[in-house]
Amino acid sequence: MSTLAYPSADFPGQPSVALEVPEGWEPAHAPGTTMAARLPREGSFAPNVVVTIEQCGPSFRIEDSLEQIASLATSRGGAVSEPYAADLGGAQFVGCDATWPDADVETVLQANLFHLVTSGASAAADAPAHLVQLTGAVGGADALADYELIRQVLTTARVTPWGSADDSDAGAATAATDLDVDA
């Protein structure tokens, strides 16, 4: 009898994501998000960055996510930019900006970035992948200035596939014996 486990090489776990946020930003929690942060503001739109990670099948295409953003924006009377590429910490993202009118804050502007993390541990054709989505949102009178602020936060994103640290366990165990723990 064999044992199956999650996470494992056969069933890889989610990648980890790290962001650097400026002083004054605070963590934000909402259902469906992996992590989020915002710059709290009294009486105006709070610039924010949201990270979601979802498992997807082998036939998933990032273009599907871009199409969803376009559909959302146009359904609200807005538009999206042409897709663009971004290298964030060695991870290749594809993104687009979306904007639409909003009754409360005049205009909402989102920067959306997508990165597909495939399982390097399993070569099976049906191996799962994880979609990492970064979304920065601004709105209101400060939207243009705040857009640069969320872009700065988004460019700090670092994605580490599950198991990357585990892939070098043998070397790490050897190196750990050479460390001076009192230093």
Highest mean pLDDT: which range of 5-14, 105-114, 124-133: 105-114
Q: Look at residues 115, 125, 128 and name the one whose alpha carbon lies nearest to residue 163.
A: 128
Q: For the purposes of burial, counting CB atoms within 10 Å of the CB of 31, is it exposed (0-12), middle (13-18) or buried (19 or more)?
A: exposed
Tokens 């709290």 label which residue? 40
Q: Which of 63-77, 126-140, 149-163, 164-178 has the lowest mean pLDDT?
A: 164-178
How many residues does the structure list for the chain? Answer: 183
pLDDT at 40 exceeding the cut of 50: yes
pLDDT of residue 118: 85
Global pTM? Answer: 0.85
